[in-house]
Structures are given as C-alpha cells and as structure tokens.
Structure 1
C-alpha cells in the first residue's frame, strides 16, 4: 500500500476537468486507488464518486493505492494532479 496527502490549491476545487485527468492517470494502473477527504472516500476511477465528494480549495486529500503497482500509481497520480494545477509540487 502507498499513499500521499496534499491540499487542493485550485481555486474552484476538484472539478470535472482535473477529475478527468486524474481518472485517466489512475486507469493506467492495476491497483485499487481511493481518494479520501475528511470522512468521505471514493474510487479514483469514478468521476461520479469524485465529484460527489465536493472537494473544495483548501481541503486536504489523501490518495491511497493498494496493489502490485501501488508506488507507481501514487507517483503517477501525484504528477497528474500537479500538472492539472490541483496541488503544488
């Protein structure tokens, strides 16, 4: 299992465009990947799960991957989140 925690810096929060980029990155890996924010969690491959969490600017999120490529998945998703300007590198 691998994970990382970050704070959302996008002024709109986690909205559809960056969520699509993150889902695309997550789909490259075989690990089970979850996003956690406060008491809410969701499957990182489901846009409905992600958007229904209503993650706002300043919210802390944790990405958790469990599987054979968990380390690579976490690194790839973190890179995608930085590229989408959701978090700071």
Structure 2
C-alpha cells in the first residue's frame, strides 16, 4: 500500500521537518524521506509512532477501515485540521 503522501501531510500538518520527525522516530532524515516518497514501507510500529507524534490517529483509523490515501488527504485531513483550529479559538 502506498501512503507516503499521507505520512508527509501528517508531518507537515504537525509543523515538523523531516529532521525533527526523524529524531523523534529514532531514524535518519533519509529514512523519513524514503517513507514519504514510497521508496520504503514503515513497519507497523513506526507507522503508529508517526501517527502518535503527528497527532493523527484518524489516519490510522482511516487506513484500518480501507480508506485510500487520496481520500484521506482530500477529505479527512482538512476536516480534522479545521476542527482543531476551531477548538483552539
């Protein structure tokens, strides 16, 4: 399953650089880049850490329920992002 763009969107929404996320995942920036470009597939532990660090549990749920990456980016992430902004103010 290809979902590098979803991982990248989660990271960017969390305001993290590849280097910052790599440090938190105990990986290299190159490894994070490979995940985001679908050149490498994260194991489930790394995926769940990514989801936790970027505060994107809805992404994990969407994948578990079979939602594809494009729908997550176009439908789910904007909704969650807007909800978070409205809760902050």
- Give me the TM-score of the superposition, normalised by structure 1: 0.34
Structure in which a larger fraction of residues adopt strand:
1
Specify the structure having the higher radius of gyration (Cα). 2
- Using the size of structure 2 for normalisation, the TM-score is 0.34
